[in-house]
Amino acid sequence: MPDKILLLPDNIANQIAAGEVIQRPASAVKELLENAVDAGATSIQLIVTDAGKTLLQVIDNGSGMSETDARMCFERHATSKIRNIDDLFHVRTMGFRGEALASIAAVAQVELKTKRPEDETGTFIEVANSVVVRQEPVATPNGTSIAMKNLFFNVPARRNFLKSNAAEMRHIVDEFTRVTMAYPHIKFTLTSNGQQLMHLEPGSLTAAQAGLKQRIVQLLGNNYNAKMVAVTDNTAYMNIHGFTGKPETAKKTRGDQYFFVNNRFIRSAYLNHAVMNAYQELIPSDSFPMYVLFIDLDPTQVDVNVHPTKQEIKFEDEKIVYAFVQAAIKHALAQFSITPTLDFDLDASIQQLPSVSQPFTTEKKEQISGGSLYKGFTQKNQAHFIEKPSAGELKSWKEFYEPVKQEEAVFDYEKSEQQYLAIQKKKSAIEVDDDTHLEQVLNSYIIMPVERSFLLIDQQAAHERVLYNQMKQAAAGTPVVVQQSMFPVTLELTPTDTVLLNELLPDLLLLGYQIEPFGNNSFVVQGTPADLDDTDPKHLIDFTLEQYKHFNSDIRVSNREKLIRSLARQRAVKKGTRLTERELRGLVTDLFQCEPYNTSPDGNPTYLEFKQEQIEKMFGR
């Protein structure tokens, strides 16, 4: 019997490794931009064609490479950053794994031009499928240019998994934003299909906070210019700096939130929780603040080598970092009189209180030092220690939060529309006529009597269902009538939103929104749906894009479906809105003509039914 285990050829092994590092064009953008930063570049250009599928090129004016280094950089695990295992725990550069260029060369055709300032000529290398096709001297400026062409040309199955150009471009802009945010002193440009999308001038190194603020406004929009507060807190363990948004900038969806550790973008639900805690009672619980925060600490206190993309890291003591982040945000908000602050001018009468005037005895000291509050400030790893409650306390709280059992069935979000319709048909139709009495309560709900019961209708959920059904019909072939604007509105968007809106323009037109590109990240709203109230189109589009970008669903839905749900949610009448008698009747009539009418598009009930026998039982009858 022949042996079964064989060594994989280098090009196959590289393609497998590339699957971890290069998942889409945006992955290559991240790696190439970070390499340019590490090379000490002061100017970096990113050029893409067809969202990086045809061409993705990064040009920098950094230190360049020698002829030998230019050849070596495409080998697996070839790196200038690591000499021994200890170096892994002192990493301050962006790239260090030695896998990026080898992975790119395994799945694309690569052309490299590089030159050091001290060399008379540069080096040109062409690589395809991990094989060097050509190498020769070349006249080229100081620095490095890497062009990645025809991504996944040798792995068709991987190429088929790529999304539309607009979707892939959004990922590229996201990665570009994260790198450029971390290095505001470097000039960056982004060009797509011959059109420059972003031109980011460098900020001052000496006025770092001012440079960072300028870069944030360039990337996230001018509306943040006067609505951010500076965060600066330095300790012996770690430093925190950056900006956080004033409470009025909080949005209903997660969006402009960036954490950087030693200038490396990271994702951390734990640290995000620390920020949210700092905003407690300042913003609604369902809103999310903007922040761009940089944490600097000793590299030995953090492990960045836990994930191929290096966006997930581990802190040696995450509880201390949590506490510092929360305290820094609170301090920044208090400094700008956004949160209530304590008055430290001591009232003279306080001096007469027993707790101040009486001596601090040894007995009192021992009593206090045994408490959890004292331990939290003096013992390691105790910053967030919570004493375990007694079994009796737990039982009480468990009973308090025990969900009330309802006789009505709870609708499962994952059920299909057909299942909903089948349930509907089993129910008797709910009719609304001129004699039906409707009453609005709490400016949020509608009471409607039916036989031996009454319905409590959620006006926002009901309106979402009505709008959703109308827009689904429009998208299926009955376009919404467009009302031309007498005074067209101009939208100024961020580069990320520009890419997204361009992708959605055809579907928006079907839904009654005639929006045309106007160049330089701006659009003109030429028309809106004829049935749209006097809603500010700019406000509507801005928030619809936010809803779309951060759309949450347990199942995969199409881009059009996401857009329709986002528009329905944004346009629906909100809780707290007083409705006229005519509006009440029109909404309820429209609701019960929908199929299904008992759930909103996201699966929540549009109404609850209270039966007479249930109510009488509640009153002990």
CB distance 467 to 572 below 8 Å: yes
**pLDDT higher than 70, residue 600:** yes
pLDDT reported for residue 338: 63
pLDDT reported for residue 541: 87
**pLDDT higher than 80, residue 472:** yes
- Rounded mean pLDDT, 293-306: 80
**pLDDT higher than 70, residue 412:** no
**pLDDT higher than 90, residue 122:** yes
- Rounded mean pLDDT, 73-86: 60
Distance (Å, rounded) from C-alpha 488 to C-alpha 490? 7
If you write DSSP's letter for every residue of 10-64 in order, what string do you get? HHHHHHHHHHHH-SSHHHHHHHHHHHHHHTT-SEEEEEEEGGGTSEEEEEE-S--
Query: Beta 55-60 vs 43-49: how paired, if at all?
Result: antiparallel
CB distance 128 to 109 below 8 Å: yes
pLDDT reported for residue 106: 87
- Rounded mean pLDDT, 30-45: 94
Residue 408 pLDDT grade (very low, low, confident, very high; cuts 50, 70, 90): very low
CA 186, 192, 194 angle in degrees (round to 5)?
105
pLDDT reported for residue 80: 54
**pLDDT higher than 90, residue 519:** no
pLDDT reported for residue 597: 93
- CATH code for the domain defined by 208-335: 3.30.230.10
pLDDT reported for residue 486: 84
pLDDT reported for residue 143: 96
Locus of tokens 């007995």: 363
pLDDT reported for residue 536: 79
Lowest mean pLDDT among 14-28, 110-124, 566-580: 14-28
| 203-259: pLDDT as tens digits | 887 778 889 999 999 998 888 988 999 999 998 889 999 999 999 888 877 778 999
Which neighbouring-strand residues pair with 115?
Answer: 143
Give the helix ranges, DSSP H, for 427-494.
459-475
Give the CB-side neighbour count of residue 510, counting CA atoms within 13 A.
Answer: 17
Going by C-beta distance under 8 Å and a sequence separation of 6 or more, which residues neighbour residue 309?
A: 21, 27, 30
Instruction: Quote the percentage of the chain above a pLDDT of 70.
Output: 76
pLDDT reported for residue 19: 58
Residue 339 pLDDT grade (very low, low, confident, very high; cuts 50, 70, 90): low
pLDDT: which is higher, 288 or 315: 288
pLDDT reported for residue 403: 45
pLDDT: which is higher, 350 or 297: 297
Going by C-beta distance under 8 Å and a sequence separation of 6 or more, which residues neighbour residue 228?
A: 213, 216, 243, 244, 245, 246, 249, 290
Residue 201 Ramachandran class (φ > 0 left, ψ -120 to 50 alpha, else beta): beta
Locus of tokens 């589009």: 541
Going by C-beta distance under 8 Å and a sequence separation of 6 or more, which residues neighbour residue 471?
A: 480, 511, 564, 567, 568
Give the CB-side neighbour count of residue 607, counting CA atoms within 13 A.
Answer: 25
pLDDT reported for residue 209: 87
To the question of domain 417-551+558-611 being in CATH 3.40.50.10140, the answer is no
- For the chain, helix (H) and strand (E) counts, in that order, are 20, 22
Threshold 0.85, pTM exceeds: no
Specify the domain boundaries for CATH 3.30.565.10 within the chain.
Answer: 10-200
**pLDDT higher than 80, residue 70:** yes
pLDDT reported for residue 466: 95
pLDDT reported for residue 204: 80
pLDDT reported for residue 415: 46
**pLDDT higher than 60, residue 14:** yes
pLDDT: which is higher, 2 or 194: 194
| 429-471: pLDDT as tens digits | 688 877 889 999 999 999 999 888 999 999 999 999 999 999 9
pLDDT reported for residue 318: 83
Lowest mean pLDDT among 172-181, 379-388, 535-544: 379-388
Going by C-beta distance under 8 Å and a sequence separation of 6 or more, which residues neighbour residue 518?
A: 490, 524
Give the helix ranges, DSSP H, for 161-268.
165-182, 208-220
Locus of tokens 């290069």: 22
pLDDT reported for residue 89: 52
Going by C-beta distance under 8 Å and a sequence separation of 6 or more, which residues neighbour residue 368?
A: 374
Locus of tokens 């309560």: 441
pLDDT: which is higher, 371 or 487: 487
Query: Mean pLDDT across the chain, nearest whole number?
Result: 81
Query: Beta 43-49 vs 187-192: how paired, if at all?
Result: parallel
pLDDT reported for residue 91: 53
Specify the domain boundaries for CATH 3.30.230.10 within the chain.
Answer: 208-335
Specify the domain boundaries for CATH 3.30.1370.100 within the chain.
Answer: 417-551+558-611
**pLDDT higher than 50, residue 342:** no
- Rounded mean pLDDT, 23-37: 92
- In 462-521, beta strands by DSSP E: 482-492, 514-519
pLDDT reported for residue 474: 87
pLDDT reported for residue 496: 83
pLDDT reported for residue 521: 84
- CATH code for the domain defined by 10-200: 3.30.565.10
- Rounded mean pLDDT, 577-593: 93
pLDDT reported for residue 313: 73
Going by C-beta distance under 8 Å and a sequence separation of 6 or more, which residues neighbour residue 257?
A: 272, 275, 288, 289, 290, 291
